[in-house]
Amino acid sequence: MKVSIIGGATGSGKTTLILKLAKYLNLKGEKIGVIVQETGEVDYDEKTLTELGIKTREVNSVCIPCSLDTDIRSNLLTIQEEFNPDSVFIEAEETVLPHKLKADLERMELVDVQLLPSVVLVDSPEFETADDQLTEYVRKQTAGAEIVCIGKVWLDTDEHSDAVSKLIRNLNLDAKVLKYPESDDENFLAQLLG
């Protein structure tokens, strides 16, 4: 079972991206699971999930550092046992560091689980272009991500979008930085999956 952890700020487009990835893999015949770590309502349309054959689990955690890892592990094992999906997407809320969650899951040595690169999605029009204007979480998420997706570039100017890309590269020289296209692009989706 492949596991992809996708993080980013609220409103950055994580749910939309996960649904696009799920649809892409579903068309290839894969069974998909989604674990949503959310403090509010789940933004997944039940009809869409049913049509795609996606199983979801919601993780509600008041104390993120002390129980999130255990909750995610428990939900991964449950979804693996009950549904046995080919791929699972974990949608992490904005205060979670996807690379840290991935490292924690790696230490758990889960059987038959392949962890894909950690992904952080940023909202290009809303993203600051000066390092000193970034919140600590945004800075840490971006610096630790293996893939940084710059979303909503079609709603931004080229100059601002390029400045966002430059800042991300300065924060994280090792990350693959991708601009998220407005239209469905199989090459883009495939790059996110490893």
Structure tokens at 158: 């080229």
Residue 76: closest CA among 109, 27, 43, 44: 109
pLDDT at position 56 is: 61
Tens digit of each residue's pLDDT (9 = 90 or more) over 95-104 = 889 999 999 8
Report the alpha-carbon distance of residue 125 to residue 101 in Å, rounded: 27
Tens digit of each residue's pLDDT (9 = 90 or more) over 116-142 = 999 999 999 999 888 888 888 889 999
Q: What is the C-alpha end-to-end distance of the chain, expressed in Å?
A: 14
Full-model pTM: 0.86
Domain ranges (residues) in the chain: 2-192
Tens digit of each residue's pLDDT (9 = 90 or more) over 20-59 = 999 899 889 998 888 886 544 445 656 566 666 666 655 5
Structure tokens at 167: 């800042």
Q: CB under 8 Å to 146, separation ≥6 — which residues? A: 99, 117, 118, 119, 174, 175, 176
- Average pLDDT of span 12-20: 89
Residue 63, pLDDT above cutoff 50: no
- Domain 2-192 coded CATH 3.40.50.300: yes
Q: CB under 8 Å to 45, separation ≥6 — which residues? A: none
Please state the length of the chain. Answer: 194
